[in-house]
Structure 1
């Protein structure tokens, strides 16, 4: 059995990051390879995700740190538990020197999914470009995302060098395809985020999620960054429907009447999405799971100065769901239920194409 190692942002305290890692590992395993998430420890990412009791950046952040510490610590521990139970099967806390020594340990290395090629998220850690692997035949990407529209001029030559010796490249967004083509004059496939490769029943079975666990209908609000227009939209939706709002956040939020879910685990997060009547989000994976679970959802863009909205716009364009984007002054039409029949057909076709790409990686390792 061939061994495949995945490098991704699995140590992030981010629901989408850990669930896409689980999905990719699960799918590759089902395709007949031995697959493991390489527990590479990027110090920059680990520091960002470290739970701080005292934050001295400002008086506001200092007070906020004290008030939210207990909830954030509990949430952090649930993520660590998920990582150790479902993602990492072998050695833990690896650094780059260890990876250099073990580059022949796997028959193939895959970087992705997630924004592994966004230099700002990892302090431009070249490990996510598999620079430690000397044999280019072993280097692959799956649904790698840049997270931005174009590469800054100062980074172009380095990106070209790093991406130039991959065996196969696939990206998650059309914009990523354009970036790779501009760098390498090479057309690469756009594939689906790993979370979309597992259907709703596979997610339910994987974690024994309870369907309709909450007898009350509710609107689920999940924001990567709070945005006043989205919050207002959610409040108006609650007023129109009479449904309560459940807000997944570990922030101190006093600007909305809601039940706050501050310490949910990745599995509990899935359950909240599965059982929601409506979902309002500005998260890429919030949108991805809403579509995969056939939910009525609304999507808002991330507020300025965020520059990663291309991935949000890309996913709703793929599935013809532009009308679900929240705009200033949007009128809520609660009777406008999404017809998922054509969307599920698009998803099924895209899933097959993405699986076919993964099969080529496994077949390459058999040669």
Structure 2
């Protein structure tokens, strides 16, 4: 039996790695021998061409100095070093990869061994992050089956300049499922095809897997609020500080290290340097409260029935806003009231009650319908292997 090629995000981001891990494990459990393709980023020429991607340019120009400052900030250097070690060890211990494939020729030549391909979840089709054509799978022979599982655009609409390209690559997939209903609307509008809305792979897999991965004991013994903010809104950190004072908790802050965020200076009073994906899940599992603007921070908080407070990372008026993915999952499980405005106070936020039995039922129903699609996708992949 030949292997299936798994295409997914591989960067050192908690959500990206955890969803890729979950999907690969689910494929193995379904009898699909697969490798996660280890593709080295596009060459210098392709990187230069991204300068002419106007949406990307507008989104990234204002961040570039924060990125440079973050990578050179002496306060962040030990955090970056420790986190890189934790991620590297996690990937080495928990994934089956192809060899490192550098450049399009190596990618195409090596992946001829695969009879079929599955494109994973996360923001693989985000117009601002698409850059080259890796996640479009246009480099794959059109005769080989290509399916997607819970792939995400990350936005509610495609820029006019990318509509034609998006329509073309979507039409090449044998089966399409997306992570958000907004994504299903995009697919139907551009191709006329129905795309099923499926849960993130981290939800598709059984919670028992996360219990085993994260360990039976908390890594931090004190009562704490777990904070994971990717955006740079100071008022959200202030909310967490006020909540800590009110509840007599400490703050365990996992800081976003892709760029320098001034409001993260001296934020949090529990230090933990080597925070990889395993630690991320453990911290949420055993937290007293969770404050986040992260999709996967929200997902794991729901799965572990935590008292959590999710904030918007973007203004809803921004065309590049990625709020839709958080709104979508909260709506599905009946927790739309857990997406808070920055002006909320801890007292007001704590007043919101959650019926976890109802939430868990809704989440299980979503998982069940998603598994039905996944099983059909597995049949498609196995058909290609026979």
Mapped pair 1:121 → 2:121: no
Per the alignment, residue 12 of structure 2 pairs with: 13
Distance (Å, rounded) in 2 between the aligned partners of 1:196 and 1:59? 31
Deviations 1:207-241 (A, max 9, x none): 25133443322111101113122112212211221
Number of corresponding residues: 356
Distance (Å, rounded) in 2 between the aligned partners of 1:198 and 1:60? 37
Query: TM-score normalised to the size of structure 1?
Result: 0.89
Per the alignment, residue 79 of structure 1 pairs with: 87
Aligned partner of residue 291 in structure 2, secondary structure: strand
Per the alignment, residue 296 of structure 1 pairs with: 307
Q: Which has the higher contact order (CA 8 A, sep 6+)?
A: 2
Mapped pair 1:225 → 2:231: yes
Per the alignment, residue 325 of structure 1 pairs with: 339
Query: Deviation of residue 289 (structure 1)?
Result: 0.8
Distance (Å, rounded) in 1 between the aligned partners of 2:188 and 2:340? 32
Deviations 1:58-115 (A, max 9, x none): 8982795343223212211221222222123432244321221234322221112110
Per the alignment, residue 189 of structure 1 pairs with: 196
Given candidates 177, 181, 189, the residue that maps to 1:174 is 181
Per the alignment, residue 52 of structure 1 pairs with: none
Distance (Å, rounded) in 1 between the aligned partners of 2:354 and 2:34? 36
Distance (Å, rounded) in 2 between the aligned partners of 1:95 and 1:23? 27
Aligned partner of residue 76 in structure 1, secondary structure: helix
Quote the RMSD (CA, aligned, Å). Answer: 2.6
Describe how 1:200-349 pairs up with structure 2 within 5 A: 200-205=207-212, 207=213, 209-249=215-255, 250=257, 253-254=264-265, 256-304=267-315, 307-331=321-345, 332=347, 333-334=349-350, 336-349=352-365
Aligned partner of residue 340 in structure 2, secondary structure: coil
Query: TM-score normalised to the size of structure 2?
Result: 0.85
Stretch deviating more after TM superposition (149-158 or 335-344)? 335-344
For the 8 Å contact 1:2–1:366, the answer to whether it is kept is: no
Deviations 1:317-364 (A, max 9, x none): 111111111214324343544221111111112112222212112212
Deviations 1:148-181 (A, max 9, x none): 1111111111111111121011100011001101
Distance (Å, rounded) in 1 between the aligned partners of 2:144 and 2:70? 49
Stretch deviating more after TM superposition (80-89 or 294-303)? 80-89
Distance (Å, rounded) in 2 between the aligned partners of 1:130 and 1:60? 31
Distance (Å, rounded) in 2 between the aligned partners of 1:80 and 1:296? 31
